Structure 1
Amino acid sequence: METAEIRRRWLTFFEGKGHAVIPSAPLIHEDPNLLFVNAGMVPFKPYFLGQESAPWDRATSVQKCVRTGDIDEVGKTSRHGTFFQMNGNFSFGDYFKRDAIAFAWELLTSDQADGGYGLDPDRLWATVYEDDDEAERLWQEVTPLPAERIVRRGKKDNYWHMGVPGPGGPCSEIFYDRGPEYGQEGGPEVDEDRYMEVWNLVFMQYDLSAVRAKDDFDVAGELPAQSVDTGMGLERIASILQGVDNMYEIDEVYPVLAKAAEMTGKTYGATGAKTAGESHPDDVRLRVVADHVRSSLMLIGDGVTPGNEGRGYVLRRMLRRAVRSMRLLGYEDPALPELLPVSMEKMSASYPELRDGFERIAQIAYAEEQAFRRTLASGTQILDTAVVLTKESGGEQLSGSDAFKLHDTYGFPIDLTLEMAAEQGLAVDREGFVALMEEQRQRAKADAKAKKGGHANTEVFKELRSAGATDWRAYTELTTEATVVGLVSQGRRVEEIAPGESGQVVLDRTPFYAESGGQIADAGVISGDGTHLVVKDVQRPVKGLVAHTVEVVTGPVRVGTPVLAEVDPQWRIDACQAHSGTHVVHAALRQVLGPSALQSGSYNKPGYLRLDFAWNQGLSADARAEIEHVANLAVRDDLPVSAAYMTLPEAREQGALALFGETYDEQVRVVEIGGPWSRELCGGTHVRRSSQIGALTLTGESSVGSGVRRLEAFVGMNALSYLATERALLAQLSEIVKAPGPQLPERVSELVARLRDTERQLDALRKEQVAAAAGSLTDQGEDVGGITLVATHVAGGSAADVRQMVLDTRGKLGEDRPVVVALTGDGGAKPVVVIATNQAARERGVKAGALVRVAAQTLGGGGGGKDDLAQGGGADASKVDDALAAVRRELGASS
């Protein structure tokens, strides 16, 4: 049974049992504590925590998940993976243990012809929490499962909670016996390789007041409503129903592994262990490729782009690990163009949007592979230099700092550094590398903590939210009478905030737009009897609650105070222009470049917008001009702007575009500009007709990462001001070069050409002078211990000049006797020293690199290079004679 069919049967079964079918949420989740959705119940957390009322009594989903905590273990065993899918059925105060057990047993054991999975009941086992007599009794009442196949286990195995105070409860896990070839007999307590867990039924019935560890917590009492949260790993049940050993061999994963094996000439499983123990390195690498290609496909599909931090870094690491694994398997050509389409073909059966968006996905992935290939080339050069210097100094291992620099600056994986260093006979200081990585992690944590320092503890806002949601009126009003229902200062609830202090104000209703969807918050004031507050920021710290960060000018402001909340009207107008302008630019972009140029992020504030989009090359001047032209035609045509609410499936059916990375409710707001010309899911504020955007001018286009470009623009009065500045600048340039505006490009080109000709003539003259000077240097040789040394200072000589003179002089002196040429120059910002040796000198043990380091240290700097030619520099030009003297001494001592 194919995985897509297993998924379909799950949803059909539970829909038939009265469950609302909920589409998978994107892998990017609004929870600030999660990089990605990592469990099937994550989108339902607000309902289980009591922060919101569930819109359904019972629901079911197949949720996309990514777990990256053990990414380094992927491939080493057949059990570790990053992307997976979790089948779940949920009850919010509706059915409980009896029905959850009955549903699970029916779906697992019903004949496949009747829509079930057709598992042999005699191979199923159940575990229950050690004190859960009710669950054990229900397993015997509801199913034919014999008592000897119902096992009691402790808190570590059969008790579930979120790791924080809140709902929790015992759970019951279902295991499938894969047979004696997979391990010992005796149930899951004996061998969890043979007995594979396929389903976990969590019975949320207690309120936990404190959670210290998985098996250490306090129970405050019963929950007011008992709920059910279940999870079945789709990949696990697929491996059973498809008769394969593990997730890497199921129909959604194995084709990528097989393709990688074909490309590299490897045979998967030929020398590796099937179920336990150490796997062959080739098998590990093939699994890494299969897992990371699929995970990357799903992440890019949900709007993640490669980057150097957060989600982007995880994606970049996976893509690069896949490419590196192919390299280690012996495949040197670009691999992703061969592998990614294979994964898309399999995954699009369940997620058809992958096929629709594959051009964009492929652009991003392939651009990242090309960037990594360039990284490998540059990193290899840096590594080779580090290896030479290490060997010159007599070292036997590459320093941790060198390995860290390769990793941090050049994106060079530590495993690749280890491998390539070993090929050249060196070890790597792993402990030093790990220590530097830990220092970096600590700095990142401190930085993140500092950035979060201005935000109050969300627990405080959860308490305020429990009293009711904010009546949000940003779409319809700019001024609203309200009451202060909560005040927060330095993360704590307070009763008042004094003049001169700042804090967060929660009102029962507000017209202020809270920052979201790329649009920054409104500005304005909140005032009352003797109270005047300036609004600095507006956020939603928890869903349904709006918090205003304010500075108290006069006051104090107290809880219960009636106030008037007033948005700055000009700010709102300018913000609407910018947000509607973003939609117009996005539509123009897609019209000019094609539908694959999808927005992947945006930011807009009064008068300014920027839009990030998937594209793997810079835009030509003609393309930028056409995008701006199309956008301004839309402004001129005075297109109607409208917003309507509908279900998410309805919006998708109408072709509405969703911003990657956003999480949407079942009811979504669709904003149209000119009907289908621009139709996007959006919660922002907008103008009523496109002409109200005013002038729109693109000001910049640049790269912000592999496969991602950024457009920037001004709108409204800011656009007019920008154009006026450009016009004034054009007039000034015309006056300087004495040419009218239309002739300015030709005139400037002419001047640039003349300048280049002059520079070429000067360069030729300088080379002649260098050659002449080099000829005279051959007469300045002195004997130092049987070695001819030419050591002098070239006043005004640049690094290039000095290097050329050194090479020419060495060439003229020939190989009849040992020669060292050492010249310094001061024609650049800092003094430079270049030293060359001939073959005869090197046979005497004289090395240019060692001599340069002596000279550069005297200059207050450093340097290095090869035995025949080396270069260095310093900070103190007054020490050039001392530097040359140091070379003489070193040469005399060595000879």
Structure 2
Amino acid sequence: MQTAEIRQRWLDFFAERGHTVVPSASLVSDDPSLLFTVAGMVPFVPYLTGVVPAPYPRATSVQKCIRTNDIEEVGKTPRHGTFFQMNGNFSFGDYFKEGAITAAWELLTTSEAEGGYGFDPKDLWVTVYEDDDEAREIWKRVAGLPDERIQGLGKDTNYWHTGQPGPAGPCSEIFFDRGPEYGIDGGPATDDDRYVEIWNLVFMQYLIADVKSKVDFTIVKELPKKNIDTGMGLERVAFIKQGVDNMYEIDQVRPVLDAAARLSGRRYGADHEDDVRMRVIADHIRSSLMLMSDGVTPSNEGRGYILRRLLRRSIRAMRLLGVEGPTFRELFAASRDAMKAAYPEVATSYTQIEQLALGEEATFLRTLTAGTAILDTAVAKTKADGAAELAGDTAFLLHDTYGFPIELTLEMAEEAGLAVDRPAFDTLMADQRSRAKADAKSKKKVLADLSVYSDFRARGETVFTGYTDLVTDSSVLGILVDGRPVASAIAGQTAEVILAETSLYAESGGQAPDQGRIVGDGFELKVLDVQKPVKGLISHTVSVTTGEVGVGVPATSIVDEDYRRGATQAHSGTHLVHAALRQVLGPTAHQSGSFNKAGYLRLDYGWNQALSAETRSEIEEVANGAVRENLEVVTREMPIDEAKALGAMALFGEKYGDVVRVVDIGGPWSRELCAGTHVARSAEVGMINIVGESSVGASNRRVESLVGKDAFQRFAAERALVQELTGTLKTRPELLVDRVGELVASLKAAEKKIQAFEAKALNDRVPDLASKAERVGDLLLVTEAVGRLGSGDELRSLATAVRGRLGDAASVVALVGEVGGKPLAIAATSPAARDAGANAGTIAKAMAAALGGGGGGKPDLAQGGGTDLGAIPAALGAARTASGA
């Protein structure tokens, strides 16, 4: 049974039983405490916890998920996958334990011919929470399972909660017995390889508090509305139904594995280590494909860092299979073809995905070259020091700074005959993980805070009136201070205010929040921020400037008209620049992110090289041409399928609902899905002035522009500058570039003459300094203060020239000069002096210590510095002592 069929049978089964089929949410979670959607229930958390009223009594979905906490286990076990799909059915105060258990058993054991999965009941085991006698009794009655195939387990495995106060409850898991060839008898409690968990039923029936750990909490009461949350692992069922040994061999993953085998010339199944590497590649390429299809791009932080790690682990695994060249073109194409039937978006956005993947691959292959050079140097030094082990901090530096995988460091060090101090490396990695976990834990608190919005959201969605009105009369639904509901807030306090209606735009779609005020009888609030903490609710962070605001009182939201005008100019300008980019560069220059506020816009787009000045000017001209044409801007709401049929662009990585807002500028000249605020006609944008263009990652560029009044002011400032320069240089504007070029050429010529004079002056000092050499034992010693110099290079040149002047004699030259207001010391020794025991590094270190600083270097030439100019005589004395004089 193919994976797509398993998926469809699930959705059909529950749809026939009154469940609303909910499309998969993005892998990029709306939950601020999560980087990714890590479980099928994540999109439903607001409904399960009661923060947002459920729009339907029962639902079903097949949710895309990403988990990276056990990434090191990928490829080693039959079931660990970074990307996976979770089939779920949910009840929000509708059916409960018996309904969930009955449906699960029916779907699993109904024959394939009748639309089920056709599992043999004798192969299925279940676990229940050890005190959940109700669930045990239902399983016996509904499924006819004997007592020995219903195992009771503790809170650590069979009790669910978020880790925060809130809803919780026991759960029941269903396992498939793979047979005695995979492990010992005894059920799920004894062997997790033989008995594979395929479905988990969570019975959310209690409110808990005082949560100290997974097993230590207090049950406060039963919930008035009990919920069902279940999850069936699609890949796990697929590998069982397809008769293969693990999830990497199912139809959606195996093609990538086979491509890796073909490219490497290795045979899957011939070598355990090679098999693990091929499975890692198959998993990581598919995971990367799905992340990029949801708009994640490689970077050095957050989601982008996880994606980059997956891509680089894939490259490393291919290298360990013997392939050092690029492979992503073939690997990603294989994954696209395997996944597009279930997720058509991987095909429609594949041009951008491939561009990002190939750019990242090329960058990391160059990084590997640079890292190899660094590693070679470290290996040579380790051997020169007579050690047999590469330092752990070196391996960590390569991993953390250069993205060099530790496995590759181990392999290459072994080829050079060295081990790696792995315990030291692991300690540094553990410290890094601890910091990351502490950061994640602090972020997790945000999820608990969202519960304070549930009462407000239960009264309905906040009505946004700002598309047509800048002033809206409403009432205060609620006030929060320090995250807690309060009855009122007084002057001097910062608070969150929830209104029933608002004209103030909440930050979204790349547009910054509005500025403005909220006023009422006896109070005025300055708006600091406007956000959507939960879906459908707008919250205003305000500073109470005068009076006292209370819950239930009338309040009027007032948008700062000048700021809104600038914001609409910038957002419409973003659409114009995007359309101009695509017109000039082609359709692959697709927007991948944006930010705009009054007077400024920033747009990221897929492209793999810097724009020339001519191309940048052309894009700016096309965008301003649309401004001059005064194109009509029309906004419409319609079903998303209808919008896409009209050619409206769904921006890469953005999330949209079933009904979307379409913004047309000049009809199809620019047609995008967008919830932002816009001008009525393009001429209102005023002017677009592109002020910057830069790289923001492999195959991703950023263009920045000023808009409207800000753009004009920049042009005016540049015009004033040109006028001032032409006046000063006594030339015409059109000749300014040539005149400046002449001045630069003259300046460079003058600098060369000055450098020649300075070099001659230094050379003229050499004979005098050499003549001051003293015979001290077997050494000729020069210790002199040389005054103020332009740079440290001049002092080094002087010291080495004096040493050369002294010929083959055993000579030590120690000079101190003033550079940039601070003392700098240089020591130089001849070969004969070094044979006699003199060491420039030791001498420079002693001089620097006298100057109040530090120094050192090689035995032949070294330097040091300090802060005490008055200590120069002492430094010269220290040089004599360190030389052995």
TM-score by structure 2 length?
A: 0.88
Which residue among 520, 537, 545 is the counterpart of 1:553? 545
> Which residue number in structure 2 is paired with residue 54 of structure 1?
54
Alignment of 1:861-880 (within 5 A): 861-876=853-868, 879=871
The aligned runs of 1:593-672 (5 Å cut-off) are 593-672=585-664
Which of 431, 434, 437 is the equivalent residue of 2:432?
Answer: 437
Give 1:799's match in structure 2, choosing from 780, 792, 804. Answer: 792
Whole-Å Cα distance in 2 between the matches of residues 401 and 442 of structure 1? 21
Cα deviation, 1:530-577, whole Å, max 9, x if unaligned, reads 222222222222333222222223312222222332222232222211
2:202 corresponds in structure 1 to 202
In the aligned structure 2, how far is the partner of 1:187 from the partner of 1:432?
37
The DSSP-based 3-state class of the residue aligned with 1:213 is coil
Work out whether residues 404 and 437 of structure 1, in 8 Å CA contact, stay in contact via their aligned partners in 2. Answer: no
Residue deviations 1:311-370 (CA, integer Å, cap 9, x gap): 233233333333344455554444545544443333334323223323322333344444
- Which residue of the partner structure matches residue 247 of structure 1? 247
1:292 aligns with 2:260: no
Q: How does 1:309-708 map to 2 (within 5 A)?
A: 309-327=301-319, 331-334=323-326, 336-337=328-329, 339-373=331-365, 375=367, 410=402, 427=421, 429-430=424-425, 433=428, 437=432, 457-708=449-700
Q: Distance in 2 between matches of 1:135 and 1:446?
A: 33
| 8 Å Cα contact 1:592-1:626 kept in structure 2 | yes
Listed one character per residue, the Cα deviations across residues 592-619 of structure 1 (whole Å, up to 9, x for unaligned) are 2222222232222222221222333322
> How far apart are 1:473 and its partner, in Å?
1.8
Question: What is the aligned partner in structure 2 of residue 123 from structure 1?
Answer: 123
CA contact (8 A) 1:396 1:427 kept: no
Structure 2 CA distance for aligned equivalents of residues 417 and 773 of structure 1: 51
Task: Say whether 1:20 aligns with 2:37.
Answer: no
Of stretches 653-662 and 537-546 in structure 1, the one that deviates more from structure 2 is 653-662
State the number of aligned residues: 881
The equivalent of 2:183 in structure 1 is 183
Contact 2:395 2:420 in 1 (8 A): no
Provide the secondary structure at the position in 2 that maps to 1:517: coil
User: Counterparts of 1:761-800 in structure 2 under 5 Å?
Assistant: 761-763=753-755, 766=758, 786=778, 792=784, 795=787, 796=789, 798-800=791-793
**Alpha-carbon contact 2:511-2:597 (below 8 Å) kept:** yes
In the alignment, the residues of structure 1 paired with residue 8 and residue 799 of structure 2 have an alpha-carbon distance, to the nearest angstrom, of 75
Q: Deviations over 1:415-471 (max 9, x none)?
A: 66777778667747448735863786599689979xx99x99433333333344333
Query: Match for 1:694: what amino acid?
Result: G
**Are the equivalent residues in 2 in contact too, given 1:126–1:175 (CA < 8 A)?**
yes
CA distance in 2 between partners of 1:244 and 1:296 (Å): 24
What do the CA deviations read for 1:112-147 (whole angstroms, capped 9, x no partner)?
A: 555544444432223333344454444455446555
Shift of 1:64: 1.4
Cα distance between partner residues in 2 of 1:304 and 1:656: 21
Q: Structure 1 residues 431, 14: CA separation in 2 closer, same or farther (over 3 Å shift)?
A: closer
Between stretches 707-716 and 222-231, larger displacement belongs to 222-231
Aligned to 2:882: 890
| Deviation (angstroms), 1:191 | 1.3
Q: How far apart, CA to CA, are the structure 2 residues paired with 1:847 and 1:395?
A: 24
Once residues 754 and 630 of structure 2 are traced to their aligned partners in structure 1, the CA distance between those partners, rounded to angstroms, is 58
* One-letter identity of the residue aligned with 2:541: T
Q: Which amino acid aligns with 2:751?
A: E
> Structure 1 residues 320 and 701, CA, compared in 2 at 3 Å: closer, same or farther?
same
- Residue 696 of structure 2: SS of its match in structure 1? strand
Instruction: Say which is worse superposed, 586-595 or 165-174, in terms of deviation.
Output: 165-174
* Distance in 2 separating the partners of 1:892 and 1:130: 82
* Distance change in 2, residues 1:496/1:223 (3 Å): closer
Match for residue 81 of structure 1?
Answer: 81
Change in CA separation of 1:305 and 1:572 when aligned onto 2, cut-off 3 Å: same
**Which residue is 1:744 aligned to?**
736
Q: CA 1:19/1:421 → structure 2, altered by over 3 Å: closer, same or farther?
A: same
Q: Which stretch of structure 1 is more off in the superposition, 850-859 or 465-474?
A: 850-859
Whether 1:306 and 2:301 are equivalent positions in the alignment is no
Say if 1:536 and 1:548, in contact at 8 Å, map to a contact too.
Answer: yes
Amino acid at match of 1:83: F
AA matched with 2:878? A
When structure 1 is superposed on structure 2, of 59-68 and 346-355 the one drifting more is 346-355
Aligned residue for 2:745? 753
1:234-273 correspondence runs (5 A): 234-260=234-260, 263=263, 270-272=270-272
Answer whether contact 2:664 2:672 (CA < 8 A) is retained. yes
In structure 2, the CA distance between the partners of 1:890 and 1:332, relative to structure 1 (3 Å rule), is: farther
Contact 2:838/2:884, CA 8 A, preserved across alignment: no
**Is 1:28–1:662's contact at 8 Å kept on the other side of the alignment?**
no
In the other structure, the counterpart of 1:275 is none
SS in 1 for 2:236: helix
Q: Tell me the equivalent position of 2:232.
A: 232
SS in structure 1 at match of 2:614: helix
Q: Counterparts of 1:505 and 1:476 in 2: how far apart (Å)?
A: 22
Partner residue in 1 for 2:215 = 215
Distance apart, 1:194 and its partner CA: 0.6
1:211: Cα distance to partner? 4.2
SS at match of 2:290: helix
- How far off its partner does 1:32 sit? 0.9
Q: Structure 1 residue 518: deviation in Å?
A: 2.0
Q: Cα–Cα, structure 1 residues 846 and 720, in superposed 2: closer, same or farther, change >3 Å?
A: same
Q: List runs of 5+ in structure 1 lacking aligned partners.
A: 273-279
2:293–2:653 Cα contact (<8 Å) kept = no
Query: Could you tell me how far 1:413 is from its partner in structure 2?
Result: 5.5
Deviates more, 1:803-812 or 1:487-496: 803-812
CA distance in 1, matches of 2:560, 2:846: 66
Superposed CA offset, 1:833-864 (max 9, x none): 45555655566665554544444444444445
| 8 Å contact kept, 2:392–2:420 | no
More off after superposition, 532-541 vs 92-101: 92-101
State which drifts further: 393-402 or 137-146. Answer: 393-402
Q: Please tell me the residue identity of whatever aligns with 1:742.
A: E
Superposed displacement of residue 255, structure 1: 4.1
For structure 2, the 5+ residue unaligned runs are none
Helix, strand or coil at the partner of 2:574: helix
Q: CA deviation at 1:39?
A: 0.2
Equivalent residues of 2:15, 2:60 under 8 A apart: yes
1:631 is aligned with what amino acid?
A: A
Distance 2:664 2:192 in 1: 54
Distance 1:158 1:444, change over 3 A: closer
Q: Which moved more, 1:649-658 or 1:18-27?
A: 649-658
Q: Is the 8 A contact 1:522 1:538 kept in 2?
A: yes
Partners of 2:764 and 2:262 lie apart in 1 by 62
Whether contact under 8 Å (1:456, 1:490) holds in the other structure is no
Aligned-pair identity (%): 56
After superposing the two structures, state which structure 1 stretch, 332-341 or 293-302, moved more. Answer: 332-341
Cα-to-partner distance string for 1:76-107 (whole Å, 9 max, x where unaligned):
54543322221222233444444544443444
Output the aligned Cα RMSD: 3.9
Which amino acid in structure 1 is aligned with residue 63 of structure 2? Q
Q: 1:578 to 1:270 in 2, by over 3 A?
A: same
